[in-house]
Structure 1
Amino acid sequence: MEEEGMEDISLKELAKKLDEFAKARDWQNYHTPRNLLLAMVGEVGEVSEIFQWRGEVEKGLANWEESEKEHLGEELSDVLLYLIRLADICGIDLPHAATKKLLKNAIKYPPNSNPFSS
């Protein structure tokens, strides 16, 4: 896979690439909803380990080494890729579902509302 132009790839394009990746390795039988969910949860745990014991961190991770940011990017990518694959295997149009959920949240939490205030 080439890196050039990849920053503008859609979720649907990523799902297609993930499907091709799995087929090329004969992994389809292992990509069940349960297995993909458990793999994703494991990756979320790896993201959590990166933040463990750091306390709150600044937006933009200004005090982090580039290697730490790169590692975080890799682990976040693993979570995203498993999520996209899980949605695809389950027949969920993730961009559509996410847009629909955002609209529901806009109604539930109108501007000037603060769900974090007591």
Structure 2
Amino acid sequence: MEKVLEEILSFRKERNWEQFHNPKDLAISLSLEASELLENFQWKDSQEALEENMDNIKDELADVLIYSLMLAHDLDLDVQEIIHNKVQKNAKKYPVEKALGTNKKYTEL
């Protein structure tokens, strides 16, 4: 993961784009890229979307991940730690004995 982050940060630094990458704008860009990812699935079932748009899905998912990693870096957040903490929170909200095989929200379990 460190090598990927170094590549992203180097790309950004070479273009002097850090000046544009404040947390607000990175979060906005992340949301916009997530919307572009969603467009690949609009009006299609999952299988159809994957068959027709896999290359674009890869590109848009990469954009989402890139902006996410830059935002975490700039906020001095440890990605592994925050993901681990979130999974632990979700484990409490969705205990296996209640959530197994259901798509209900934790407030409905």
Same fold per superposition (TM over 0.5)? yes
Question: Matched residue pairs, number?
Answer: 103
Unaligned runs of 5+ in 1: 1-9
What is the identity, as a one-letter code, of the residue corresponding to 2:94?
Answer: Y
Counterpart residue number, 1:57: 46
Structure number with greater CO (CA < 8 Å, separation at least 6) is 1
Please point out which of 80, 100, 104 is paired with 1:95: 80
More helix by share: 2
- RMSD, matched Cα: 2.2
Counterpart residue number, 2:94: 109
How far residue 57 of structure 1 moved from its aligned partner, in angstroms, is 1.8
Residue by residue over 1:26-69, the C-alpha shift from the partner in whole angstroms, topping out at 9 and shown as x without a partner, is 11111111111111111111111111111x324x94xx14xx21
Find the aligned partners of 1:16 and 1:88 in 2 and give their Cα distance: 10
> Normalising by structure 2, what TM-score?
0.81
What is the identity, as a one-letter code, of the residue corresponding to 2:56?
Answer: H
What is the identity, as a one-letter code, of the residue corresponding to 1:116?
Answer: K
How far residue 108 of structure 1 moved from its aligned partner, in angstroms, is 2.3
What is the identity, as a one-letter code, of the residue corresponding to 1:80?
Answer: L
Find the aligned partners of 2:22 and 2:3 in 1 and give their Cα distance: 20
Counterpart residue number, 1:43: 33
Find the aligned partners of 1:53 and 1:98 in 2 and give their Cα distance: 31
Q: Secondary structure at the match of 1:44?
A: helix
